[in-house]
């Protein structure tokens, strides 16, 4: 297993390099990531390359048994590039260009920038292909920004649309330009639909898709070069978890595996739901294990910094990711920089370069990871539940949330939190995935649903699956136009319901309902459908008079399966705990363990065996009653019955039997 840190030899005197490499070695580190911002070091002027600094750093690292992931350095253009080719700097909406001196500020349609990006990639690939301790590549850094609004990008957007739609008639139909007299007669008339609160929502969705496509193409040009010239190396990119600016499935498709940047230390210590969901989203991009390429190593921030990871927290964050399928662990960053915008983004070492508490905790974690590595090789999280995660729906709801504060991630989070609390794993999958291997499929806020996808969900249920969807399901088609059917549209018969009316529930107005045998009362805030249960069973009851004939939740057996619909957004977590409990029972899915608050449990399994990860997210002791017995691999002790964890404590049990 690779464990290490993001390292910037270009920030320190050469005399320091052997000290750093020695400390890394002592900590059990065997990998660093290098050079993602070092374009100017390697190409001090156009066309003349100088790799001497990295050659020497690599040889110092090599002497200490440390491998390296090299990065294409295109996240920061050199000053010479910006001044020689001003059009390389992206244009903002007001027509001015980015001022050089930050990062991620290039136009992806600038021929000179693209030519130079390919050239530096080629030069690096050629130079580092056979360096013994170079093992792989990261493309660029955190792709996403910026969205350029220059004339070249506009022409490219128009050409992309022409390619997609073929004719203006079909573009006009897809965008519904009969509204507000927005009919387009020439491709060149199409503007950037930059105001997502006011421009045509169909055009806005296409612009997001276009930007994503442009970035994926940019990466693809680099990947092609690296594949050809460095066949021995892997290629990855550092994704940003729940970031929604790109279609991450597309960005991942050209890579060997996904890596991601995990910074879960903000505010007071709490349950890291987002880091858990982020990890599952990352695992879902390619349906395989991933790496952490950057992870919180200390207080973080640019102007002000946040809290310090508490004793044990650096370690427990790592185990959470390991439990969700991480196969490589890299902390950001090795040592806190004394210069530049990230002086307060703390590394494992402080400004003083001393190996103190955070270093020691990372070293302990590294040695444990090496101990676990042979056990975990080839193991994966095996989930019986899939959650559909769809960028079209994410984007459509960013453009028009429908009701205030609505988003795909929030909607998924309501159910995901309940799964997390019950100790049940889920895979996050794109629409169109073969769902037949899953016993339960959740499709929260699945908003953009082309007819073919609706048909496949119907088929999934009829052949025995359990499906739950909820508010605003299938309102839109693939063009971001509303379907012309009574909701839930094509799947009305599948769910056995009709939704003739619906509303936001905001501004202090709230409804009340009961759900479950206990008859407990819950609060509806945000949104409600007025669901008429036709053939479906009504699973709860509204207390409010005018809603009393409608069903908050419905359940409908159809074919060999069951389709559930939840038409309310409820404030209390307990409502989702109860609903998810009923779904798990329906699907015959057993939790991995019965868990106290704040403790997470996940199983990794493979041919070598089954491994139960237990992670305490809170700074207080907890005890868990084990569903199995086995060997706790960190202590080499046999465990059965109750096991107690310190605050931020972890356990990895090799399950027997
Ligand atoms: C990441 C980025 C790093 C560093 C870090 C702290 O998002 O990839 O280069 O900037 O944040 O700001
Ligand atoms: Zn541009």
Select which of 36, 87, 142, 525 is catalytic. 142
Task: In whole angstroms, give the CA distance from residue 248 to residue 313.
Answer: 29
Task: Determine the Cα–Cα distance for residues 422 and 593; give it in Å rounded to an integer.
Answer: 8
261 ligand 1 Cβ < 6 A: yes
Q: What is the mean pLDDT of residues 44-60?
A: 98
- Looking at residue 592, what is its pLDDT? 86
- Cα gap 161→173, rounded to integer Å: 13
Task: Indicate which residue's Cα is closest to atom 10 of ligand 1.
Answer: 342
Distance of CA 602 to the CA centre of its chain: 18
Give the span between the Cα atoms of 427 and 439, in whole angstroms: 12
Q: Are strands 31-34 and 2-6 parallel, antiparallel or unpaired?
A: parallel
3-state helix, strand, coil in the chain (%, to 5): 35, 25, 40
pLDDT > 90? residue 111: yes
Domain that holds residue 650: 599-655
Q: Is residue 226 part of a domain?
A: yes
CA dihedral in degrees (60, 358, 289, 590; nearest 10)? 160
Residue 6 C-alpha to ligand 2 middle, in angstroms?
31
**Measuring CA to CA, which residue among 501, 569, 509 is closest to residue 530?**
501
CB of 248 within 6 A of ligand 1: the answer is no
Tokens in use for 468? 């739950």
465 confidence band (pLDDT: 50, 70, 90): very high
Cα separations in angstroms, 235 against 122, 136, 225, 277, 593: 14, 6, 11, 24, 37
* Domain CATH number, residue 621: 2.60.40.1180
| CATH number where 536 lies | 3.40.50.880
352 CA from centroid of ligand 1 (Å): 21
* Alpha helix ranges (H) inside 104-150: 111-128
Mark whether 427 and 516 lie in a shared domain: yes
Tell whether 366 and 423 lie within a shared domain: no
| pLDDT above 70: percentage of residues in the chain | 100
| Amino acid 516: pLDDT | 85
594 found inside a domain = no
- Asked if the model's pLDDT at residue 5 lies above 90, the reply is yes
Residue 559 and residue 413 in one domain? yes
Distance CA 526, CA 503 (A): 9
The tokens for 247 are: 């279609």
Q: Does the annotation count 294 as an active-site position?
A: yes
If asked whether residues 644 and 560 sit together in one domain, one would say no
Which residues are registered as beta bridge partners of 326? 290
342 lines ligand 1 (CB under 6 A): yes
Model pLDDT, residue 521? 97
SS3 state at 335: strand
Instruction: Classify residue 158: in a domain, yes or no.
Output: no
The residue among 208, 286, 282, 276 whose CA lies nearest residue 241 is: 282
Are 360 and 389 in the same domain?
Answer: no
Residue with tokens 């996403």: 144
Q: How far is CA 206 from CA 86, 310, 348, 494, in A?
A: 28, 44, 42, 30
Residues 558 and 437 in one domain: yes
pLDDT, averaged across the chain:
97
Going from the Cα of 461 to the center of ligand 1, the distance in angstroms, rounded, reads 43
Residue 601 φ/ψ region, left for φ over 0, alpha for ψ in the -120 to 50 degree band, beta for the rest:
beta
Per-residue three-class SS string for 533-581: ECCCEECEEECCHHHCCCCCEEEEEECCEEEEEECEEECCHHHHHHHHH
Q: What is the mean pLDDT of residues 29-42?
A: 98
pLDDT of the residue at 268: 85
Total residue length of the chain: 657
Among 329, 345, 377, residue at a domain's last position: 377
User: Would you say residue 533 lies in a domain?
Assistant: yes
Q: Is 332 in the pocket of ligand 1 (CB under 6 A)?
A: yes
- Residue 6 Cβ < 6 Å to ligand 1: no
d(CA 157, ligand 2 centre) in Å? 10
* Element holding 290 (H helix, E strand): strand 290-295
Q: Is 189 a catalytic residue?
A: no
**Crossing angle of helices 168-175 and 151-165, rounded to 10°:** 100
Ligand (nearest to CA of 154): 2
In this predicted structure, the answer to whether residue 373 has a pLDDT above a threshold of 90 is yes
Domain identity same for 366 and 514? no
From 87, 294, 313, 600, active-site residue: 294
Give the pLDDT confidence score for residue 269 in this predicted structure.
86
Q: What is the pLDDT of residue 291?
A: 98
Is residue 657 scored above 90 in pLDDT?
Answer: no
Q: Looking at the CA of residue 141, tell me the nearest atom of ligand 1.
A: 8
Tell whether 334 and 448 lie within a shared domain: no
For residue 86, which ligand has an atom nearest its CA?
A: 2
Distance CA 300, CA 336 (A): 10
Q: Kindly report the CA angle at 199 between 196 and 202, in degrees rounded to 5? A: 85
Residue closest to 360 by CA, chosen among 1, 6, 27? 27
Percent of the chain predicted with pLDDT > 90: 97
Residue 310 reports pLDDT greater than 90 = yes
User: Is any ligand 1 atom within 6 A of the Cβ of residue 345?
Assistant: yes
Nearest to 395 by CA among 639, 148, 204: 204
Structure tokens at 509: 């107005």
Is 345 contained in some domain?
A: yes
Domain check: are 477 and 539 in the same one? yes
What SS3 state is found at 644? strand
**Is the predicted pLDDT of residue 593 greater than 90, yes or no?**
no
Residue of 424, 389, 421 whose CA lies nearest to 408: 389
In angstroms, the CA 325 to CA 188 distance is 47
Domain end point (choices 329, 348, 377):
377
pLDDT digits (tens, 9 = 90+) for 57-69: 999 999 999 999 9
- Alpha-carbon distance of 388 to 408, in angstroms, equals 10
Task: Give residues with Cβ within 8 angstroms of 374, minimum separation 6.
Answer: none
- Distance of CA 145 from the midpoint of ligand 1 (Å): 13
Helix (H, G, I), strand (E, B) or coil at 52: helix
Average pLDDT over residues 104-121: 98
Ligand nearest 6 Cα, by number?
1
Q: Does the pLDDT at position 404 exceed 90?
A: yes
610 within domain boundaries: yes
- The whole-angstrom separation of Cα 68 and Cα 5 is 10
CB 142 less than 6 A from any atom of ligand 1: yes
- Return the structure tokens found at 646: 């310190």
Q: How many domains does the chain contain in total? A: 3
Last residue of a domain, one of 329, 344, 377: 377
d(CA 321, CA 11): 29
Pair 392, 324 in one domain: no
pLDDT at position 267: 86
Same domain, 474 and 581: yes
Q: For residue 375, what is the DSSP state?
A: H
108 CA from centroid of ligand 2 (Å)? 6
Same domain, 464 and 490: yes
Give yes or no for a contact between 487 and 518, defined as CB atoms under 8 angstroms apart. no
Tell whether pTM > 0.85.
yes
CA-CA distance, 624 to 637, in Å (whole number)? 16
pLDDT in tens, 316-353: 999 999 999 999 999 999 999 999 999 999 999 999 99
**Does pLDDT of 377 surpass 90?**
yes
Comparing 198 with 269, which gets the higher pLDDT?
Answer: 198
More reliable by pLDDT, 400 or 593: 400
Instruction: Give CA–CA dist 220/139, Å, rounded.
Output: 9
Instruction: Give the three-class secondary structure for 357.
Output: helix
The three-state DSSP-derived secondary structure of 140-209 is: CCCCCCCCCCCHHHHHHHHHHHHHHHCCHHHHHHHHCCCHHHCCCCCHHHCCCCCCCCCCCHHHHHHHHH
Which of ligand 1's atoms lies nearest the C-alpha of 75?
A: 9
pLDDT in tens, 142-165: 999 999 999 999 999 999 999 999
Confidence of residue 647 (pLDDT cuts 50, 70, 90): very high
Asked whether residue 203 is domain-assigned, the answer is no
pLDDT at 594 over 90: no
Q: What is the pLDDT of residues 500-559, one digit of tens each?
A: 999 999 988 999 999 988 889 999 999 999 999 999 999 999 999 999 999 999 999 999
Whether 581 is in a domain gets the answer yes
Q: Which ligand is nearest to the CA of 93?
A: 2
Written as one string, the DSSP assignment of 575-632 is HHHHHHHHHHHHHT---SSB--TTEEEEEEEETTEEEEEEEE-SSS-EEEE-SS-EEE
**Average pLDDT, integer, range 92-114:** 98
């Amino acid at each position: 297993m690779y464990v290490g840190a993001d390292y910037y030899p270009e920030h320190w005197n050469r005399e320091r390099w052997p000290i750093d490499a020695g400390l890394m070695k002592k900590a059990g580190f065997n990998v660093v990531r290098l050079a993602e911002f070092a374009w100017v070091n390697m190409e001090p002027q156009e066309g003349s390359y100088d790799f001497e600094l990295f050659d020497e750093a690599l040889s110092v690292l090599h002497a200490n048994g440390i491998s390296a992931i090299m990065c294409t350095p295109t996240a920061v253009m050199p000053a010479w590039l910006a001044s020689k080719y001003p059009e390389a700097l992206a244009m903002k909406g007001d027509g001015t260009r980015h001022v050089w001196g930050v990062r991620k500020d290039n136009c992806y349609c600038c021929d000179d920038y693209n030519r130079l990006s390919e050239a530096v990639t080629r030069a690096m690939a050629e130079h580092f292909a056979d360096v013994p301790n170079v093992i792989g590549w990261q493309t660029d850094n955190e792709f996403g920004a910026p969205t350029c609004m220059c004339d070249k990008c506009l022409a490219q957007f128009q050409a992309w649309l022409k390619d997609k739609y073929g004719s203006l008639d079909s573009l006009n139909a897809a965008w519904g330009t009969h509204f507000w007299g927005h009919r387009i007669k020439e491709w060149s008339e199409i503007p950037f639909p930059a105001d997502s609160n006011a421009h045509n929502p169909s055009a806005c969705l296409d612009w997001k898709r276009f930007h994503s496509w442009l970035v994926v193409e940019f990466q693809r040009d680099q990947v092609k070069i690296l594949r050809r010239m460095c066949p021995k190396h892997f290629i990855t990119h550092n994704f940003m978890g729940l970031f929604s600016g790109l279609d991450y499935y597309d960005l991942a498709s050209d890579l060997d595996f996904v890596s991601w940047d995990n910074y879960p230390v903000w505010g007071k210590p709490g349950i890291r739901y987002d880091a858990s969901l982020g990890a599952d989203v990352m695992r879902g991009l390619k349906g395989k294990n991933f790496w952490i390429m950057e992870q919180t190593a200390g207080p973080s921030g640019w102007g002000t910094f946040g809290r310090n990871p508490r004793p044990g927290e650096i370690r427990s964050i790592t185990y959470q990711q390991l439990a969700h399928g991480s196969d490589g662990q890299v902390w950001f960053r090795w040592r806190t920089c004394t210069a530049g915008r990230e002086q307060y983004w703390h590394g494992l070492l402080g400004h003083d370069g001393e190996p103190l508490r955070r270093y020691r905790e990372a070293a302990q974690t590294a040695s444990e990871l090496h101990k676990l590595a042979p056990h975990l090789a080839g193991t994966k999280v095996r989930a019986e539940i899939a959650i559909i995660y769809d960028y079209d729906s994410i984007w459509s709801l960013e453009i028009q949330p429908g009701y205030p504060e609505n988003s795909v991630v929030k909607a998924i989070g309501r159910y995901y939190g309940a799964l997390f609390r019950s100790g049940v794993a889920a895979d996050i999958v794109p629409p169109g995935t073969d769902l037949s291997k899953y016993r339960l499929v959740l499709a929260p806020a699945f908003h953009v649903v082309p007819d073919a996808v609706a048909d496949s969900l119907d088929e999934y249920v009829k052949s025995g699956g359990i499906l739950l969807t909820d508010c605003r399901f299938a309102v839109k088609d693939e063009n971001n136009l509303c379907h012309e059917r009574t909701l839930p549209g094509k799947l009305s018969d599948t769910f056995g319901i009709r939704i003739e009316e619906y509303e936001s529930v905001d501004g202090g107005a709230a409804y009340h309902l009961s759900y479950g045998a206990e008859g407990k009362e819950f609060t509806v805030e945000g949104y409600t459908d007025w669901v008429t249960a036709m053939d479906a069973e009504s699973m709860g009851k509204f207390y409010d008079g005018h809603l009393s004939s409608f069903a908050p939740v419905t359940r409908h057996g159809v074919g060999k399966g069951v389709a559930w619909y939840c038409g309310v957004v409820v404030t209390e977590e307990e409502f989702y705990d109860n609903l998810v409990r009923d779904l798990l029972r329906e699907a015959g899915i057993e939790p991995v363990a019965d868990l106290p608050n704040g403790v997470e449990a996940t199983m990794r399994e493979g041919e070598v065996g089954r491994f139960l990860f237990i992670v305490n997210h809170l700074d207080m002791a907890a005890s868990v009653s084990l569903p199995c017995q086995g060997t706790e691999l960190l202590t080499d002790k046999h465990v059965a019955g109750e096991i107690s964890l310190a605050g931020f404590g972890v356990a990895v049990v090799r399950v027997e039997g």
